[in-house]
Amino acid sequence: MDKQEILKQKEAFDIDTLRIDFPDMHGVTRGKIIPASRLEEILEEGINCAKPTYSLDFAYNIPPGTGTAEAVNYEDMTILPDIDTFSIVPYQPHTARFIGDIYAAGKPFPYSPRGLLKNVVEKYNEIGFLPVVASELEFFVFKPDGDAFNYYTDKPSNVYTSGLRADPDDLMRTLQNTALAMGIDVLYSNHEFFQSQYEINWKHTDAMSMGDQSFTFKNMCKDVAFSKNCMLTFMGRPKNELGGSGFHVHFSLKDSANGQNLFDDPNGKEGMSDIMRYFIGGQMAHAKAMTLFFAPTINSYKRFVLDSFAPYYLAWGLDNRTTYIRVPGERGNSTRVENRAGCASANPYFVIALGLIAGLEGIKNKIDPGDYYEGDVYADESGKIDTVPLYMHDAIEELKKDKALCEAIGPEITNQMITMKEAEVERFRTYVSEWEFDEYSYHL
C-alpha cells in the first residue's frame, strides 16, 4: 500500500484518529494515539517514546542493566509507521493503525523484536529462501464479577463444540469477522479442550506478515473481548484445574525463484528433503536455549507437564502431538515443521524469529536431528531423552550457554531478556504465595 491509497482510505472511512503501535519485549502493544490530520507528518517524522518502555515489567519495575534505561539516560527512540501495515480498526470508530519500526539516532533500534524478525528474514532471502509461517494461538475467556473471574463457559468436554452453549456471547464470530476485516485470513475457530478455552487458525503467509498478523491478532482479541465485558487471556496456564494455552508455529521454506516448497522431497525419507531435516536438527539442537523466548513467564513453565499435549521431552515425530517437533502428514506444497513449544503468552516476533534462527543454524551446519520418535513420548521410561527446561532459571542458564544462538539474536536483545527475566525470577523467589500460607501456616 502506498501513501496515496492510505489517504484515500482515510477519507473513505472518515478516519480522525491514528494508532501508531509497536511491540515491547513481552509482545504487548505500546504506542500513541495521533489526530489523523497529522498523517503525512507522522509518516515522515514518526513519534517518540522513551526507550525504557523496553525495560518495563508488569509491576512497573525497570531492572538495572538492560541497556535501555539508566545506561542511556532514559532517552527517546523514534517509531516510524510501516505503511504496509496500515489497516482500519473495525472495533474503534473512525480509527486506523500502523505498526511502527523503531529507530535510535537514525539507526534501527537493536532491541526491537520486529527488527530482529526482519533481520532474520533478510538472512534467508540472501540465500534464496522465503520463510513461510502459520500461527496457532489458544486462549481462555473469563467473565469478570467484581474481583472474581468466572469461566465464560463452565461445562467440561466442550472441545470442538459449536453454538451458543459453547460461546454464549457469540464472541468467536465477532473475533473471526474482526480479524478478517483487519486482513487476517481466518480458516476456522473452535472451542478447545478445557472449559472457556478457544483457538483460532488463519492461513499461512510470509514470516514477516505472520509476525505482524499474530501481534495484531492478540491485541485485537483482548480489545474486542473487553468490549463485551470479557477478559481474554493468552496466559500460559491461568487456573490450577486447567491445562495450558500454546502458540504452535508451522514453518516451511520456499525457493524465492520458483516458489517450490524446499522441505518437500518425494524421494527423501518420509518425503522430507535434507534441508527440512537440517531445519529440524537446528530446532532440536537449540530447543533448550530458545525456551526463555518461547516460555517467557514464570507461569509458562506450568504448561510443561506430562500428558498435556505440550512438549515435555525433546523429541521429534511424524504427526505426533506428544513430541516437541511435529511433522504433519501432508506433503507437496503443505510439507512443514510444527514447533509446539511456544506458550500463548510469548512475543510472536520472538517465537517466529528464534524458530527461524535455529532452523538456519541447522541448515548452515547440516545438523542431523536423528531418528524420529514413534509412540507416546510422555510414556518413555528410557531416561535417554532430555526434557525442556522446567523452570525459568534453568531456561536462562541454557540461553547463556548457547553462544551460537546468542550471537545470532544479538547482544542487546539477549542481555535485555536475561536481565529482565533474572529480575522476574528473583521477585517470584521472594514472594509469599497463598499456596504457601495455606500449606504451612496452621501446622508450623
Q: Hey, what domains does the chain have and what are their CATH numbers?
A: 3-109 (3.10.20.70), 119-409 (3.30.590.10)
Beta bridge partners of 215: none
pLDDT confidence of residue 2: 87
Rounded CA gap, 222 and 180, in Å?
Answer: 16
Alpha helices in 26-148 (DSSP H): 39-45, 113-126
What does DSSP assign to residue 52?
G
How many residues are there in the chain?
444
Rounded CA gap, 381 and 378, in Å?
Answer: 9
In 3D space, the residue among 328, 295, 87, 91 whose CA is nearest the CA of residue 209 turns out to be 87
What backbone torsions phi and psi does residue 106 show, to the nearest 5 degrees?
80, 0
Beta bridge partners of 211: none
pLDDT confidence of residue 74: 94
Rg (CA), the chain: 22
**Do 421 and 392 form a contact (C-beta atoms < 8 A)?**
yes
Rounded CA gap, 81 and 44, in Å?
Answer: 9
Q: For residue 50, what are the contacts with CB-CB under 8 A and spacing of at least 6?
A: 74, 75, 76, 77
What backbone torsions phi and psi does residue 438 show, to the nearest 5 degrees?
-65, -35
Our CA angle for 121, 332, 129, nearest 5°, is 20
Mean pLDDT by 10 residues, the chain (444 residues): 90 96 97 96 96 93 94 96 97 97 96 98 98 97 93 92 93 98 97 96 98 98 97 96 95 97 97 98 98 98 94 97 97 97 98 98 98 96 95 98 98 97 97 95 96
